[in-house]
Homo-oligomer: A and B are copies of this chain.
């Protein structure tokens, strides 16, 4: 009898505190290293980029319609704390010569790897003092860049893109401020859209939150709907080339577990070596119900960089 009562208490407790029951735990080093791509691997999910991947993407281009998913770089766009973007147009130089050639150029000061629509590389995040594939920052970080894992290694990514429109699944243009996207949400959305994921895909989540980028930057940054740790882990199991979203952190912010700070970033970048793509503009893609497309992005080759601002497109 007592055992029975205890059992009931345990079950009730679990039911009442879902967080504690499913608390995400940091994997141990042994659990995540070496990477499935090899002990010396620096490329992570970028290893999916092969000629076949390009062809797979190309096959999805039927009309040549291009959707710009990137952001205009301007000083007043939303920034994660501490970041900025400034551009100063230099004075015009009139060159010598009878052709009266005037030249204009600008100087830019910004966290070039982490502003606008941004692509994260593997030097960006750590678990304690450990990076992707258990690289040690103390050994590979310098004042002018990381000697391994730098974003200059990525190159153009061109692959099949799949939009998982969770907002549409929930019948809204924009999910609520801290809506936690579950595995169930993802699976039902894919079902509804009649699309399945394949290894090497660019998995793009539409939350609708990107609509705030131009209209309410403060709200855009304060919290956001996004993936739960479980949802992120489920996507990771689908072996994608990258996970993208129309928000900054990709993961729901704040995470339901108040003791966790953006764990989805760690799940993707540190644990699984999967690239992230953030702050996308998805209204058009979602509005036209474009669920399958060629995704193309070109991270700048910032030597030793943690990531790159990008201007990606979806093409169909």
A interface list, Cβ under 8 A from B = 24, 26, 49-55, 58, 61, 63-66, 68, 70-75, 82-84, 86-93, 95-114, 116, 123-129, 137, 141-146, 152, 155-156, 158, 259-263, 265-266, 296-307, 309-313, 315
CB distance from A60 to the nearest CB of B (A): 10
Given contacts A89-B142, A259-B97, A260-B99, contact A68 B126 (CB under 8 A): no
- Give the top 8 A-B pairs by smallest Cβ distance, nearest first: A51-B64, A97-B261, A54-B64, A102-B126, A108-B112, A95-B261, A55-B64, A100-B128
In the complex, the answer to whether B106 meets A145 with C-beta atoms within 8 Å is yes
- Bound-state Cα–Cα, A131 to B304, Å: 29
The A interface is mostly helix, strand or loop, or mixed, namely: loop
Given contacts A107-B110, A302-B106, contact A261 B87 (CB under 8 A): no
Chain B residues with CB below 8 A from A107, complex form: 88, 107, 109-112
Given contacts A93-B143, A100-B26, A298-B298, contact A54 B61 (CB under 8 A): yes
Extra pairs beyond A87-B145, A90-B111, A106-B113 (6, CB < 8 Å) = A83-B105, A84-B86, A88-B144, A97-B260, A99-B260, A101-B127
- Bound-state Cα–Cα, A86 to B298, Å: 20
CB distance from A296 to the nearest CB of B (A): 6
CB distance from A275 to the nearest CB of B (A): 15
- Bound-state Cα–Cα, A246 to B137, Å: 36
In the complex, the answer to whether A101 meets B262 with C-beta atoms within 8 Å is yes
In the complex, the answer to whether B113 meets A144 with C-beta atoms within 8 Å is no
Chain B residues with CB below 8 A from A100, complex form: 26, 126-128
Chain B residues with CB below 8 A from A66, complex form: 49, 51, 54, 155-156, 158
Given contacts A104-B125, A126-B104, A301-B71, contact A64 B50 (CB under 8 A): yes
Given contacts A73-B302, A89-B145, A90-B143, contact A114 B125 (CB under 8 A): no
